[in-house]
């Protein structure tokens, strides 16, 4: 499952960044509360500090969106464009499925009596080309 690995790393990185931003915000908030109670004088505004804060948050947001899009792009191009070929051979009231592209040229067959019924197996998200005989 390639998607699970890719988006597992995306989720991990985003969780770490979100946790770090949360801790910074809580720390700044606690500092402001402590200073606010100890000082009653008016303090001047600090536009440079506010601009730095907004710029840092914007940089984190741009990084997370770009990194997630890059990982998603990587996942989208992981699919094999060639269709999977399955040879289907029918015989009296049953069938055999052959997979000529597999390394061992596997096939699935059965007698179609009781629970001995062959099952066609195909991968999710991949085109399948069946060829009957």
Distance (Å, rounded) from C-alpha 118 to C-alpha 115?
9
Mean pLDDT along residues 2-7: 66
DSSP 8-state secondary structure symbol assigned to residue 113: B
Strand partners, 95: 90
Mean pLDDT along residues 36-41: 62
Pairwise pLDDT comparison (20 vs 42), residue with the higher score: 20
Distance (Å, rounded) from C-alpha 28 to C-alpha 20?
12
- Residue 79 reports pLDDT greater than 60: no
Give the pLDDT score at 72.
Answer: 77
pTM over 0.95: no
Pairwise pLDDT comparison (97 vs 47), residue with the higher score: 97
């Amino acid at each position: 499952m390639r998607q699970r690995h890719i988006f597992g790393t995306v989720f991990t990185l985003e969780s770490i960044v979100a946790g770090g931003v949360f801790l910074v915000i809580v720390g700044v908030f606690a500092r402001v509360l402590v200073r606010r109670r100890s000082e009653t004088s008016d303090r001047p505004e600090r536009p440079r500090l506010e601009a730095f804060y907004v710029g840092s948050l914007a940089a984190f947001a741009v990084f997370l969106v770009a990194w997630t899009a890059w990982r998603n792009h990587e996942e989208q191009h992981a699919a094999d464009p060639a269709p999977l070929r399955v040879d289907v051979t029918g015989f009296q009231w049953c069938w055999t499925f052959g997979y000529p592209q597999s390394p061992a040229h596997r096939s699935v067959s059965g007698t179609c009596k009781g629970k001995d019924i062959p099952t066609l197996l195909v991968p999710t998200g991949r085109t399948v080309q069946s060829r009957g005989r």
